[in-house]
Amino acid sequence: MYEIQFGVPMSGAILNCINTRLDARTISVLLRHCEPKLLFVDTLSQSVALEAISLFPPNKSPPVLVLIQDDHDDAGGSNSSLSTVDSRFCCTYESLVEKGDPNFKWIRPKSEWSPIVLNYTSGTTSSPKGVVHSHRGIFTMTVDSLIDWEVPKQPVYLWTLPMFHANGWSFTWGMAAVGGTSVCVRKFDASTVYSLIKKHGVTHMCGAPVVLNMLSNSPEIKPLPNPVQILTAGAPPPAAVLSRTESLGFVVSHGYGLTETGGLVVSCAWKREWNKLPATERAKLKARQGVRTIGMTEADVVDPESGLSVKRDGSTLGEIVLRGACVMLGYLKDPNATNKCMKENGWFYTGDVGVMHSDGYMEIKDRSKDVIISGGENLSSVEVESVLYNHPAINEAAVVARPDEYWGETPCAFVSLKNELTQKPSEQDIIQYCRAKLPHYMVPKTVVFKEELPKTSTGKIQKFALRDMAKALGPSSSSSRLSRM
């Protein structure tokens, strides 16, 4: 997958990395939407890919399939047998590369504005949105992040952030730019991470706060040979997790970005004088998303109606808007969605809600009205709701985030049942129903039954009120291990 970040653009094609945690149905929808010519499939994703292809209608031709067989498997992942390749694959990746022309001249993009990647995001609506970035945008993002994270030459980078997450926030290319060593893993847990840090002399890694939590809560904590830089985003790192992680020798940086920006474009730039503050005060400051990076022209919090900046008082809510070189070209085949978020003068409306502090640092308050961020994965509540609405017993449904010590958030469903029911479903019944139709991480961990869901005067469900209720339930239990990372 790391090689493909370079080989695909250099061959003149556009790269689309698919989230390996998605189910076959969703993958099939994405493939039919972007119509790839070639699909590289890792051994571990073999069956889900073949199932996704089998869901293609007869009039749609599926992509040619290439199997990536890797016998250098450092941690996790089994590699059953190199000899048996399903006949639906045209060849293996290695045999394809062997047949290549060593004198092949890279194909230069027609323009710096030519697309280089497509990355799907569920965003706030249930329809898949394909974010397209240009060569120029990705170059800027890549150098921007190297400067902002102060990445030195020849770092040793552990891939705890999946490469399919906006190309690992563009660090796939960033690591090449600084001569970095990439330590790749298919699956990991705290024990694996600590042993890889020791084995390879890891200096840098990225991950959602859930990774910090995993590392600092593990019974397998090992002393770090040297400080390790961790860049986190996706949700503000909870103060307790932050101080626990830093006490172990990790140096945590915090930023904010979206698939639409290709990586982190707002960064909690740390001031030296803040080191003198007590730990709780430091954690509070570090939990803020921060200020724009130098690859961006402007970052602001505005009133979505007037477009004017909100008061810098740390409490007036507004929409986070961004402008600059790292903003996407637009959504694939979706001019409506593109026009909805890309406004005059290059402003990108994120849909995330935040406040601006008096020192110019922004903080996300209600990341967005709908999105739930579980273990660093953005998941659309609307998509989960659409499944719930198909349940024969359910009248109304709304899914919001419930705080979780381990995942950050988990989906919590509020449902009202139909009146004429002879037998009412249980919480487990509804969870089981969703499991059959949704990827594991999107399945609600909690189902709350209500007589009626709270509504606005115009009939809209008040998610804000439900979020308060979900919060009042306390953190959801976190018995499940990090099986899906």
Interacting residues toward a copy of itself by CB under 8 A:
143-144, 146-147, 150-154, 177-179, 269-270, 272, 294-295
Q: SS3 for 130?
A: strand
Shortest CB 147 distance to a copy of itself, Å: 5
Q: Which of 177, 109, 195, 90 is nearest to 141 (CA)?
A: 177
Q: Please say which residue, 10 or 147, places its beta carbon nearer to a copy of itself.
A: 147
Residue with tokens 């039954």: 449
* Both structure tokens of 297: 């022209």
Q: Please say which residue, 271 or 455, places its beta carbon nearer to a copy of itself.
A: 271
Q: Please say which residue, 269 or 469, places its beta carbon nearer to a copy of itself.
A: 269
* Both structure tokens of 475: 């953190």
DSSP state of 23: -
Shortest CB 153 distance to a copy of itself, Å: 6
Query: 133: how many CB neighbours lie within 10 A of its CB?
Result: 30
Q: SS3 for 321?
A: strand
Distance between CA atoms of 485 and 468, rounded to whole angstroms? 29
In sequence order, which ranges of 313-462 are alpha helices (DSSP H)? Answer: 335-341, 381-389, 427-435
Shortest CB 59 distance to a copy of itself, Å: 43
Distance between CA atoms of 482 and 12, rounded to whole angstroms? 37
Shortest CB 146 distance to a copy of itself, Å: 5
Shortest CB 399 distance to a copy of itself, Å: 40
Q: Please say which residue, 106 or 464, places its beta carbon nearer to a copy of itself.
A: 106
Q: Which of 439, 467, 262 is nearest to 370 (CA)?
A: 467
Q: SS3 for 273?
A: helix
Distance between CA atoms of 431 and 444, rounded to whole angstroms? 6
Q: Please say which residue, 85 or 294, places its beta carbon nearer to a copy of itself.
A: 294
Q: Within 13 Å and on the Cβ side, how many CA atoms surround 228?
A: 29
In sequence order, which ranges of 248-313 are alpha helices (DSSP H)? Answer: 279-286
Shortest CB 152 distance to a copy of itself, Å: 4
Shortest CB 154 distance to a copy of itself, Å: 6
Q: Please say which residue, 170 or 213, places its beta carbon nearer to a copy of itself.
A: 170
Shortest CB 255 distance to a copy of itself, Å: 13
Q: Which of 339, 265, 262 is nearest to 300 (CA)?
A: 265
Q: Please say which residue, 323 or 367, places its beta carbon nearer to a copy of itself.
A: 323
Q: Please say which residue, 270 or 349, places its beta carbon nearer to a copy of itself.
A: 270
Q: Please say which residue, 77 or 346, places its beta carbon nearer to a copy of itself.
A: 346
Shortest CB 382 distance to a copy of itself, Å: 38
Distance between CA atoms of 313 and 358, rounded to whole angstroms? 6
Q: Within 13 Å and on the Cβ side, how many CA atoms surround 148?
A: 32
DSSP-assigned states of every residue in 165-208: THHHHTHHHHHHHTTPEEE--SS--HHHHHHHHHHHT--EEEE-
